[in-house]
Amino acid sequence: MDKFIVQGGKRLKGEVEISGAKNSCLPILAAALLGEGESVIENVPNLRDISTMVKLLRSLGARVTQNNGSVSIRPTNALVPLAPYKLVSTMRASVCVLGPLLGKLGEAEVSLPGGCVIGARPIDLHLKGFEALGAKITIEHGYVKAKASSLRGSEIYLGGSFGSSVLATGNVMMAAVLAKGETSIENAACEPEVVDLANFLIRMGAKIEGHGSHLIRIQGVKKLRGVKYQVISDRIEAGTYLVAGAVTRGDVTVKNVTPEHNNALYDKLIQAGAVITKGKNTVRIQVKKPLKPVDLTTLPYPGFPTDLQAQMMALMTTASGISVITEKIYPDRFMHVPELNRMGARIFLEGSSAIVTGAKKLSGAHVMASDLRASAALVLAGLVAEGRTDIHRVYHLDRGYEQVEEKLSRLGATVWREKE
């Protein structure tokens, strides 16, 4: 197992190329199972989660090859409906094979998912949607079993305790594209990754309208074809590097991005005192004066993303004053707080809110990564901390950030990786 080491104190400056969106790639790779013939997905990052999905698709009987940022998937006549615990337990997004398997084969048996430990994330909305389409659902021995002789279009309301669900919206959409008749998904997630998945399915021949809104309508078709498709850039990776620029009071430009995907983040960075300049497919951040504290609440898109909450908290530990960060998506997503406090941060939790009092300085320490975005927050804190920060269990970071040490090094950071 590796650990990630950051020697703090370097101001970041320069340009960084953003990879394809992990949270688009995973369901799109799964959706390729629905096609007749080969699909080639481009702009795919080289990540641990992508490798897990490739192994899972192969275990289901698909022929999958990876080559320099692209993945080709050819479903075979020997597809099997069983997604085993060994693979699904390591990555929550593995559950997104349920929809394609159910739509294509009429049955699916998928282990209950694992992934980051960031609080309860049940899949009840997924199952509610499948049942509305006519599937019979049972849970036995840690596996979800779904079966339907024929899926039928239906009106489905996907509202949950904390708003819409990206994975559930995508999963139900994938099951519905081959169902008979029309399906409407109300309170659908609006995230760019959902839109990207819908655009891929449309390219394959699906009939989908309303993606990007809270009401998606799907007219079932008899079959889909394999296609070539390029996924969008990763807005969370882009946001992380912009915050890295801010925390080091630097000057960083992210390239290969869709600028409007991160407007909620820009709003908070500008409130804090950063200067944001948007180009056609670039965003530049400059910090020329001391940063001010800001309050924020995570919400479904287009609100502030929960996947940037930890990184923004690391930034606010360096602002002068008190910030309040409220988590409305995953109220328990504060595993990074005690580790940031080990570095000299002053953060107190009150229910689903964190009260952050800006510290005069952070100091390097040994810290433990609990999940993907917490890992990123600890790296950001290490960039500005005095001395050396050792971040343990760095495999979390490798699940969602491609070539992170190379990209940070090119911006001027002193970072490296060592064996534990």
Query: Catalytic site residues?
Result: 116
DSSP 262: G
Contacts of 122 (CB under 8 A, 6+ apart): none
Whether the CB-CB separation of 327 and 298 falls below 8 Å is answered with yes
Dig out the tokens for 410 from the structure: 């090119």
CA–CA gap between residue 61 and residue 74 (Å, rounded): 9
Which helix (H) or strand (E) element contains residue 74? strand 70-74
3-state secondary structure of 368: strand
CA–CA gap between residue 139 and residue 149 (Å, rounded): 18
CA–CA gap between residue 292 and residue 274 (Å, rounded): 9
What residue ranges in 95-206 does DSSP mark as E strands?
A: 107-111, 136-140, 143-147, 155-157, 182-186
Angle at 146 between CA 145 and CA 148, to 5 degrees: 145
Contacts of 390 (CB under 8 A, 6+ apart): 3, 4, 5, 364, 365, 366, 367
3-state secondary structure of 155: strand
State the burial class of residue 289 (Cβ atoms within 10 Å of its Cβ: 0-12, 13-18, 19+): exposed
Dig out the tokens for 206 from the structure: 């699906």
Whether the CB-CB separation of 65 and 74 falls below 8 Å is answered with no
Dig out the tokens for 306 from the structure: 């929960």
Whether the CB-CB separation of 343 and 365 falls below 8 Å is answered with yes
